[in-house]
Amino acid sequence: MHFLYSSLVKDKHMTPSQRAFSRRNFAKGAAGFAGVSAVAGCAGTTSVAQTQCETPKQYKTFQSAQDWVTAFFDKGAEEVLGYYADDFVWEDIEFMQTITTKEELYKAFVVFNNSGPESPFGVHKFEVLTYDGGPAGDSKGVTRQGPMPKEWEGYEADYNRFTNNIMLGADIDYDEWGYMQWIWKATHNQDFFGIPAAGKTTVTRGTTTQMYKEGKIVRCRTHWNFREFAMQLGIVPAPDEAWRDNPGLNE
């Protein structure tokens, strides 16, 4: 996904204010990102006053999903940090990338702050097409129990390589879930990790599943169609659909 460019980011790609933000919040030994302060006027009140201060639960919507998927480019990495709880897991399945701290999240996305058409990392546009979500039900957080199945003997490394990421954050509590489908248009101003891409535009689709606790993201898992992406860059062939007219099934 687009965040993979982050390994190429140097100080020269960041504005002075972005560098200062990073050093202020993520310098070794610093207290870390402070996050959003408590709602003014509600702390220390009596039970009656507290009830009056509370607002009805607001669940995520289609617009919430669109706001999130474009925030990295339209609002900047600094504001994106506020979408996430202090304890969270972010995962890109295609490239097996996992982020668990706000420092890592900032490093991954700061390069796209206000990126214009001349950005060396390209121009990226996302559009959410569908959104499903709501309160978490009784079946939330159900995970597989027991040892590795015997059928996987000899493939322990592969089994653990995948299951470790799947289970990471499985014990984080959440009260709401959301699932979105989106399309991504990327105009590439340089090659994409060794793949000739400069001057080309690719369009592909993907999905993101999120879990929330008190409105903040605690689990975020994205899956996108890399094959479609690679087909448009000419490195893999289109899928064979000969099965639709298989003569062997007509005998």
**pLDDT at 233 (0 to 100):** 92
DSSP state letter for 1: -
- Smallest CA-to-CA distance from 13 within 110, 137, 149 is with 110
Rounded distance between C-alpha atoms, residue 86 and residue 100, angstroms = 9
**Which amino acid appears at position 230 of this protein?**
A
Strand partners, 216: 213
| Domains of the chain, residue spans | 1-27+85-137+160-240
Q: What are phi and psi of 206, to 5 degrees?
A: -160, 175
* CATH class of the domain whose range is 1-27+85-137+160-240: alpha beta
**pLDDT at 108 (0 to 100):** 86
Rounded distance between C-alpha atoms, residue 28 and residue 246, angstroms = 62
- Long-range pairs of 163-166 with CB within 8 A, sequence gap ≥ 24: 165/91, 165/96, 165/98
- Which H or E run includes 212? strand 201-213
**pLDDT at 118 (0 to 100):** 82
- Which H or E run includes 216? strand 216-224
- Smallest CA-to-CA distance from 177 within 125, 217, 118, 224 is with 217
Q: What is the mean pLDDT of each run of 10 residues along the chain (251 residues)?
A: 59 66 65 43 52 73 94 86 96 92 90 74 92 92 92 96 92 96 93 86 96 97 93 91 82 63
**pTM recorded for the entire structure:** 0.79
CA angle 126, 130, 134 (to 5 degrees): 120
Rounded distance between C-alpha atoms, residue 223 and residue 196, angstroms = 23
**pLDDT at 54 (0 to 100):** 65
